[in-house]
Amino acid sequence: MSYISVFDVLGPDMIGPSSSHTAGAAVIAFLAHKMIAPPLEKVEFTLYGSFSKTYRGHGTDRALLGGIMGFGADDARIRNSFQIAAERGLAYSFAPCDTGDDIHPNTVDIRMENAMGRVVTVRGESLGGGKVRISRINGVSVDFTGDYSTVIVVQQDKPGVVAYITKVLSDSNVNIAFMRLFREAKGHTAYTIVESDGRFPEGIAESLRTNPNVHDVMIVEP
C-alpha cells in the first residue's frame, strides 16, 4: 500500500501562488545554477506546455530567474528577481514554445553562459508539490530529482572510468543511494550521476577530476 507524507498534502514552503509553476520552477533553476561556474552572464529560458501559457501570471518567470541566481523556493527575493538580475548585470530572456507535444506540461529548457564563455543547457520538469526532475543536461537524457546530494561526472565513455568513480567515492566514505550512467552513444560523452544520503566531502570533485577521461564534475547539494 502506497502512502503520502504531510508535505505532499501541504506543499512546500515557498514564495508564489503555485507549487508547480512557482516553487518547482525555482527549484529547477536552482539546481541548474549549481551546474555552471559563476559568475553567470546570460540565461535563456524556453518554456513548454502550461509553463509557456501561464508563466507571467503564476510568477514562473520570477521564480526561474530567482532560482538561477541561487534563491531557494522560499526566498522572498524572488519577488524582486527582475530588479536584482538587472543590478547584477545578468542578461535573461523567456521564450514560450508551443511545440513538443511529448514533453511534460511543466517543462523548461535553460541555456546558461558564464563569464568564461562556457555554455551549459539543462531541461527540468516540475512534477507538482515543488518536486522536480532534471531530464536533460547538454542534450543528453538524464534522470535525477535533486532530493539527494548529487555528483554529476561528465566523462569519456571508456572502460574503467565508472570503476574509478566508485573507488574515489568509496575511499571518501560516501554512501551511495542511487547511481546511474547516461551516455550519448558508445565511446562518446557519458554522465555518471551519483546520489548520496549525506553531503559530499570537501575535495571530492578534485579527486574525481584526476582521471584523464573525466571532463567535468558538478556537485549539486539540495
Count of the separate structural domains present in the chain? 2
Q: Which has more pLDDT, 101 or 84?
A: 84
Same domain, yes or no: 153 and 134: no
pLDDT tier at 8, thresholds 50, 70, 90: very low
Q: What pTM was estimated for this model as a whole?
A: 0.86
Which pLDDT value is given to residue 13?
43
Specify whether 89 is located in the same domain as 117.
yes
Angle at 92 (CA atoms; ends 90, 97), nearest 5 degrees: 165
Domain carrying residue 153: 149-220
Q: CATH code at 44?
A: 3.30.1330.90
Q: Does the pLDDT of residue 14 top 50, yes or no?
A: no
In this predicted model, what pLDDT tens digit does every residue of 164-194 receive, in sequence order? Answer: 999 999 999 999 999 999 998 898 999 999 9
Confidence class for position 9, pLDDT limits 50, 70, 90: very low
pLDDT for res 182: 96
Residue 189 in domain: yes
Question: Tell me, what CATH number does 199's domain have?
Answer: 3.30.70.260
Last residue of a domain, one of 93, 114, 138: 138
- By DSSP bridging, strand 140-144 and strand 149-156 are unpaired
Same structural domain for residues 120 and 177? no
The Cα–Cα gap between 162 and 150 comes to 15
106-147 confidence digits (pLDDT tens): 999 999 999 999 999 999 999 887 889 999 999 999 999 999
**CA neighbor of 174 nearest in space, from 203, 147, 146, 145:** 203
The dihedral formed by the CA atoms of 130, 193, 149 and 144, expressed in degrees to the nearest 10: 10
Please say whether the beta carbons of 25 and 12 come within 8 A: no
My answer on whether 27 and 120 are in the same domain is yes
